[in-house]
Amino acid sequence: MNAAIFSQKRIFSIFVCVSILIIGCKKDESAKAPADHDGPSNPNSPSNPNNSSCGATAADAENLAIFPSDNPWNKDISGEPVDPYSSQIIANFSSSPMHADFGSGLWDNAPIGIPFVVVCGDQVKSNVVFRANNYDDNYGDESDAGPYAIPLNAAIEGNGDGDAHVIAVDKDNDILYELYNASVNGDHWEASSGAIFDLKSNQLRNAGWTSADAAGLPIFPGLVRYDEILKGTIDHAIRFTLNKSHVQAAYIAPATHKVSGTGGQYGLPFGARIRLKSNFDISGYPAHLQIILTAMKKYGLMLADIGSNMYVSGAPDDRWDNDELHQLGSITANNFEVVKFN
């Protein structure tokens, strides 16, 4: 990785409300004042973000095999050994409460979480213009050229404020399209970076390349989605973030990209996993949360980005009970252990 890529920073913004906090993390890590989401909203993005001309819905994504069964996202790590430095790593942020960075309703006119749209195989494809703007730089040289099967009315995370991720899942061809710092300009998308993933393949991105996520990982496979709750099981690792002071300037597979984290020996590299301890009693939590917590024991959390400590990612959905999700805050990092990664 060249020095320019190694020196990337990632600004993160912290949004505070009564029980839901929303965070946006840039490729630049240096702190800035909290954003107020007062920018223009996307008029084509309702609270249910799945605008699809073919009538596909979010639930259709649950009929897909999201990567092969032996993909790291789908690996049962409940029996993997604990990292010898687990205690020292966790100690640095042990009191940090877990936070569901998704929910129902709107915050400053934006759905809470990272939205996605499911499209059909005949979705019109178009090229994306990669560019820098006042939020972040141009990572077009680490992006997939496309074209991208993303409808122009696809929901933008935060309605364009913050990381402004855009995600489309082609349910017929099993292809995932993701953009970072995206916006619509007339008849096309513009973005700081983009990535295309074949959901039938374990192929990683080029070493050193970012994606729509800082770690070079896909975002969609790590989201908690409400239709998984209806199925009664989450069968994959869950995306989460840590402050850069707890992140190494390193990555391990399936991640392909690093940032200037300052965690050192007792930090986590991108792609590392932590899991909820097997003896943690989840019986007192609501049934919906037990599904999430069971997945955290079996598949764990995968470090994918710089952000607030112990923020777990999910998709917005008006069926979420925000008060219920807030109960996850009673669980701290101290209830987790690091899966051996060296």
Write down the pLDDT at residue 53.
61
- Range 168-178 average pLDDT: 98
pLDDT tens digits, one per residue of 106-140: 988 899 999 999 999 999 999 999 999 999 999 99
Write down the pLDDT at residue 27.
45
Write down the pLDDT at residue 39.
30
Question: Percentage of the chain with pLDDT > 70?
Answer: 85
Please, are residues 338 and 90 in contact by the beta-carbon 8 Å criterion? yes
Please, are residues 340 and 100 in contact by the beta-carbon 8 Å criterion? no
Higher pLDDT, 311 or 45: 311
- Range 240-248 average pLDDT: 98
Return the exposure string of 212-248: e unless at least 16 CB atoms fall within 10 Å of the residue's CB, then b: bbbbbbbbbbbbbbbbbbeeeebebbbbbbbbbebbb
Question: Is residue 45 pLDDT above 60, yes or no?
Answer: no
Write down the pLDDT at residue 19.
37
Residue 16, judged by CB atoms within 10 A of its CB (0-12, 13-18, 19+), counts as exposed
Per-residue confidence band for 342, with pLDDT thresholds at 50, 70 and 90: confident
How many domains, the chain? 1
Helix (H, G, I), strand (E, B) or coil at 87: helix
- Range 298-305 average pLDDT: 98
- Range 279-300 average pLDDT: 98
Write down the pLDDT at residue 38.
28
Average pLDDT over the chain, rounded to whole?
87
Write down the pLDDT at residue 222.
98
Residues, the chain, total? 342
The tokens describing 251, both together, are 């990555």
Q: What is the CA radius of gyration of the chain?
A: 18
Among 17-26, 65-74, 150-159, the range scoring the smallest mean pLDDT is 17-26
Domain extent, residue 243, equals: 3-338
- Range 218-230 average pLDDT: 98
Question: Is residue 324 pLDDT above 70, yes or no?
Answer: yes
Per-residue confidence band for 15, with pLDDT thresholds at 50, 70 and 90: very low
Write down the pLDDT at residue 52.
54
Candidates 338, 271, 258; CA nearest to 88 is 338
Per-residue confidence band for 40, with pLDDT thresholds at 50, 70 and 90: very low
Write down the pLDDT at residue 24.
37
Per-residue confidence band for 271, with pLDDT thresholds at 50, 70 and 90: very high
If you write DSSP's letter for every residue of 50-65 in order, what string do you get? ---TT---GGGGGGS-
E strands present in 216-259: 238-242, 247-251
Write down the pLDDT at residue 281.
98
Q: What is the pTM of this model?
A: 0.85
Question: Is residue 21 pLDDT above 60, yes or no?
Answer: no
